[in-house]
Structure 1
Amino acid sequence: MEEENKLQFPSLPAITEDLLDWAYPMRRDMQEILPGLFLGPYSAAMKSKLPILEAQGITHVVCVRQDIEANFIKPNFAHTFRYLVLDIADNPVENIIRFFPSTKEFIDGCLATGGKDARTFVKSRRTKCMFLINIIFCLVPAGKVLVHGNAGISRSAALVIAYLMETFGMKYRDAFSHVQERRFCINPNVGFVHQLQEYEAIYLAKLTIKMMSPMQLGRSFSLQAGMQGSRKRSLEEDDDFGAMQVTASQNG
C-alpha cells in the first residue's frame, strides 16, 4: 500500500548553457532558472525590453507587486504576453503561501501549452472532438515565462523556489541553492523563508491525498473516526468509573 502511494517527481532538467560568473550588473537582467522559466527584476520587463523578451521566446509573465507599486510596476505587454498579476507585499508577515498554487498552475500551463496559441487550445477543449483536441495540443509549442517583482530578489524568488520544491520534490535549501546558482542576488525575507520551509510538508500532504484512491481515503477517515470514538468511549468510561467511586464513598 505504501508503494502505491509513494510520490514520484520528475528529475530537475538541466540548462545546456554554462553558468556565467555572477557580476553585479546582472541583477538588472533576467536569468533562466529552468528551461523556459526566467526570474528577474521589473527592469527586465520594461517597455524598452520587448525585443529582448520576444527574442528569448517569452510568452507568459508573472508580475509581482504591491498595490502602492502599481503606478510604476505594470503589465506593459498585455496584448503580447499572458499575465498573472499578484498583489504581494515584501513583508515578513505577508502570507505568500496562498499564492503558490495559482503561480504553479500558471507556470505549468505556460510550459505545457505555450503562449497565444494556447488560447485556441483551451477553446477547442470544449468540443467533443478529441481527435481535433489532440492535434491542436501537439501543434502548440511550449511557452516561456518570466517571473518578476521589483528587484527580483525576495517575492518573485520565493515564488520560483516554491515552484521548484513542489514540481520536483525538492527541499527548501536545495531549491534555494539551485535558484541562487543562476541568480546570485536572491534573498527572500525571513518570513518568506519560514513559509517556504513549512511548505514542504504542505505540498507533500496535498499530493499524497491526491494520489490516494477513494477507498484508501475512506479507510483513512474510518480509522480516524474509530480512534475518536474509542477516545470518546474511554472518556465516558472514566466518567462512569469516577461516578461509581463518588457513590461508593457516599454510601460508605
Structure 2
Amino acid sequence: MTQATASSGVSGSEDSVGAGCRYETPPASELQRLMWTKLGSSGHMDEVQPRIYIGDMYAARDKRALQGHNITYVLNAADGRFNVNTGADFYRDANITYYGMEAYDTPSFNLSRFFYSAAEFIKTALNSPDGKVLVHCVMGLSRSSSLVLAYLMIEEHLVLADAIKAVSANRNICPNAGFLQQLRELDIKLHCQTRCE
C-alpha cells in the first residue's frame, strides 16, 4: 500500500528534500477509504492513541468530563472569537494547560504551518507525568485529526497511511481535501529524509 523507493537519477517526481529520492504516498482516494472504519458514530471525545484524545467543541467545554478523563492539556485547533473561543482562562480552575491555534476548516487554509508546533505540544503533554491531551476543533473530524496525524508522523515516525489506520480504528476522521494534501506532502518530506539521509 505505502511505497518508498530510493533511486538515483530519477527525474520529474523527485522531492527536493533528498536528491535522487522518491517517496510515494498513497493517493488521496485510497487514504480516504481508510478513514471511516470505526463502527457507529463518533462521540464527543475518543481516545485515539494512549493518552491522546480527539474531540469536538462540546468535549472542550465540558470541564467535568475533561477532569473525569484526567485531561491535563488541551490543544484547540479552532481557537478564536468566531470558532471555539475558550482560551487559557477558561481552563485555569481545571489545572489544564492550553494551546490555541486559529485555524479554519477550508481546503485553502495552510494548516501545515501548525504541524510542528502542535506535535511539540502533544509531545510535551505525553512527556509529563500522567499527561493526557485533548486535541479538538468544532466537530473533531478535520482540523484536530489532521494535527494528531501530523504528530504521529513527526514524532512517532509513522507513514501517513499507518497513522490514519491507527487513529480511525478509534474515531471516524475526515481531514478536508486541502489538509489531506498537506499531510501527503509532509509524508513525502519525512520519509524521503528518513530513507535518503
TM-score by length of 2: 0.72
* Cα pair distance change 1:173/1:207, threshold 3 Å: closer
Does the 8 A contact of 1:28 with 1:43 survive in 2? no
Amino acid at match of 1:55: G
Residue aligning to 1:95: 110
Structure 2 CA distance for aligned equivalents of residues 165 and 73 of structure 1: 28
Residue aligning to 2:161: 173
**Is 1:73 aligned to residue 85 of structure 2?**
yes
Residue aligning to 1:225: none
Q: What is the deviation of 1:100?
A: 0.7
Percent identity, aligned pairs only, is 32
**Larger CA Rg, structure 1 vs 2:** 1
Question: Which aligned pairs between 1:103-122 and structure 2 lie closer than 5 A?
Answer: 103-113=118-128
Residue aligning to 2:151: 163
The structure in which a higher percent of residues are helix is: 1
Structure 2 CA distance for aligned equivalents of residues 203 and 33 of structure 1: 22
Structure 2 CA distance for aligned equivalents of residues 183 and 172 of structure 1: 16
TM-score by length of 1: 0.57
Q: How many residues align?
A: 157
SS of 1:159's equivalent in the other structure is: helix
Structure 2 residue ranges without an equivalent (≥5) = 1-37
| 1:30-53 deviation per Cα after TM superposition (whole angstroms, max 9, x unaligned) | 11111111001011111xx22221
Residue aligning to 2:142: 154
* Cα pair distance change 1:77/1:168, threshold 3 Å: same
Does the 8 A contact of 1:147 with 1:156 survive in 2? yes
Q: What is the deviation of 1:93?
A: 1.1
The structure in which a higher percent of residues are strand is: 2
1:197 maps to which of 167, 170, 184: 184
**Is 1:22 aligned to residue 43 of structure 2?**
no
Does the 8 A contact of 1:42 with 1:73 survive in 2? no
Amino acid at match of 2:92: A
Q: What is the deviation of 1:170?
A: 1.6
Structure 1 residue ranges without an equivalent (≥5) = 1-20, 114-140, 213-252
Residue aligning to 2:68: 55
